[in-house]
Chains A and B, each alone.
Chain A
Amino acid sequence: MTAFWSGFCALYLRELRQDAGNPLAYIFVASFVSASILLAFQVGGLFESGRAELIAFFQFHPWLFVILMPALSMRAWSDEARTGTLETLLALPVPTSALVVAKFMAAWTLACLMLILTTPLWLGLSLLGPVDHGATLTAYVGSCLLSGAYLAIGMAASAASRSQVLSFVLALGVSFLATAAGLPLVSSTLAAFLPLPLTETLTSLSMLDAFAGFERGVIEARGLSYFLAVMALGLCLTGLWVDNKRGGQA
């Protein structure tokens, strides 16, 4: 096993065990499952639509993730720096990339588990009428990628600060901007101040825009590459900030 994989596996399993023993992780999962289902029924009108489809359920995921993913990732690096255990990690003969990917993958595993726990809704709906299983599965894949993109932003924010609160606020702010940019209200407001090409570019960088195809059950190369690019960017920034601590920065 290479230094990357040994470091990755050790830290990934450590993080998962930490989550398994942490009541906050259970509260977090329960909050997402209950809030997403409640929103789908109460606000999205899942029953009232009269159609056996889960668009009403998935449409709220970006907004739930804006709050929940920064909460899930805020401790990842800021806590290591605050308690001094980052020093222990950095003294291991392991590349920084292994540490960064391990922490991200562990948090993403929890986010995916959270999504899996909502599948009874899918199964329940399929008993009531014909459900497009392919489209629903695509939407789940999209939601999974979406959560990964928000988590990568959160990880970078966590590496940038020793304070959990500051990390959360930073990730929340960036995530909100990256989501709200796709709202018609925001794009029309931006269009009043900015040139049209710039407005269109900003709107096209929105999480909502990238998720829209998946939500409809279509895997779009643009959406897929967008999410992968956000994850790669977030993890690169995390790695840079973690490595920066070797240079003696906060």
Chain B
Amino acid sequence: MNMLREQVRADLLAFTRRPETLFFTVFLPVIFLVLFEAIFGGQSVTLAGGDVVAQSYLQVPAFMVMGVISASFVALAITVVNRRETGTYKRVRGTPAPAWVLIIGQVVTSLVIAILMVIVMLALGSFAYGVRVELDYLPWLVASVLIGAIAFSCLGMMLAALTPSSEAAPPLANVVVLPLYFISGVFVPIESLPSWLGNIASWLPVAPFVKVATWAYVPATTLPWRSLGLLVAWGAVGLIIASWRFRWTPRRG
């Protein structure tokens, strides 16, 4: 346990000292939320069920999800590829440290950052935009964010396993998530998409995550079990492909 604690401590320290990852993970979703609130904050959206809500109720959880995905998927994939390609992992594999310390350490680090993002977004939504989560629904929000963060950590490991070089990691990660943000209800309400696009998106991992997190803010009568199940399934896919293709040593040489 001491080993894991030191690993997480070191990983978090390293994370906070890399300004570019800090910016993309923590600040970018916050900047997006502030901008979107400034532009669309006063508008209302008619939900599929016919209810009308202020758009802020959709935007706050959507950018919260974006922050969590940045931490668990984008930042994780970039870090893992980087450590593989610079020989850091190879080096640690030459010590008695078991492999799980590196992997769990990295995932726990992502979870810590994800929780931090949730707190920032909860506070911002609540104090700046008057969007509150009822206390009863808070456990659901925390649980769904944790499940989502773990699922996207698995997908991040998968992406890392499939990424050939350090240089390719940041563009690849962004090429994957940016279009998904557009079609999954982060930048644009999912209701305003053409239905075929919405249908495709609903099977991909981002939309279910947004739906599950939004439920805490805009509770409907039924819990979004299907979305939660999809999220877990995607996590499992990521985990299987990651453990099949993962390697500790650099790809070149």
A-B interaction: no
**What is the interface of chain B, defined by CB distance below 8 A to chain A?**
none
**What is the interface of chain A, defined by CB distance below 8 A to chain B?**
none
